[in-house]
Structure 1
Amino acid sequence: MKDIKKPKPAKATRGRPRDESKNIAIIEAAVQLFLEKGFDSTSMDEVARVAGVSKQTVYSHFSGKEQLFSASIRAEIESRYPDTVLKKLEKRSLEGDMLAVCESFAGLLLSRRALSMYRLLVSAADEKPGLAKIFWESGPNEMEAKLEAFLQMWVDRGELAIDDIGKACNLLFTLLKGRAHYQRSIGLIDEIDDDMIKETVKEAIGVFMKLYKA
């Protein structure tokens, strides 16, 4: 059984700061290639070509494919973190916060890119179990921690009654994926539109509130 190395933390660079636009272009190219060709069949040369930069530039930003894969996952997920989403709200309430957080997270879970990544990880599970570990530690693990912190905040305010935050968080994940994730994963449906996401979120919040609203 083959495995891959866990990416090393990025080293501090000396001299001029990294060009953020090139960084974004490299990550976008990497995501595109990982999803189209898989992890093994994607090369740093191809990433450079698709991003429109030199191979040297790619390596000045990322030490290797593992670190680039990790950065790609983090870039996809960071904007969906509950604390990031909630900064955009003018008014705060349990219902409003739940709706904003759940719509954002469901939009990520049910996106075409997320479902393609899910398929990539499933297909690589036997030969490269380390890829799933990199994926999990690069975003979903922190997303789970942030969602738990979000729920705990409303428990502390007396509006949610939850004995096991971890269990409640896992239930919310499952509810937000709903039937749509499974159906899209196996190709039963071609697309998940905004209406399907909104309906899934509405049902998920309804069930969750019945169980945990104080």
Structure 2
Amino acid sequence: MAELLAQPRWVEAAQALIGGCVDLGPRQDGAVALMEAVCTGLGDQLYPAFLRVLAEVNLRGEYAARAAVAQTLVHALSQGRLPSGSRAAWGAWQPGAQRRSLGPIEYLCLAAWPQRGQADLSPEQFQTLAGAVMELLDCDAEARRLYADHLAAVADDPLDGTMPREVRAGLRALAQSWRGQPDASQACRAFVDSLGALRSSGHGPR
């Protein structure tokens, strides 16, 4: 099983991912296969490290480099090969519980939900990390549109069972805001505000 280094080389990892997407072609299967290999090599436990690499790409990459990674992500999405991490389905806390695979943004949305009173990500951490991944996708208008449509579809699928209604409502608010304009911070706030409103009304997790 892969293990995270004591001092992860985030910059080098981001540069390697950018180089692969640019060299192989952002809308080519080879770049998607590379991204899949990176994600699979890390495994579910280190999937957040993959998301951190995407955030680092957004932070340090030039516009063309960021667009290449964004185009690779959305090409993977169109093929049903979006690099994903698994989380236990909501309400399933016992060992061996059923798990679901989630793409980067929906994974972070579920991580920000305070299941059993405690979230894996604080609102600030969610806005920082999810905002960075979304800003990366903002580099390509088609990537943003297609991913926003994907998030809306996830939010509107009541049979999936992965997410509680609170997260679905927040995800729907995020998708609608983001689809309307390329403002990742505003869309992330829409998600956080939606969860906060539900908790205030007494509909949040107990």
Range of TM-score over shorter length: 0.3 to 0.5
Larger radius of gyration: 1
- TM-score, scaled relative to structure 1: 0.38
Structure with greater contact order relative to length (CA < 8 Å, sep ≥ 6): 1
- TM-score, scaled relative to structure 2: 0.39
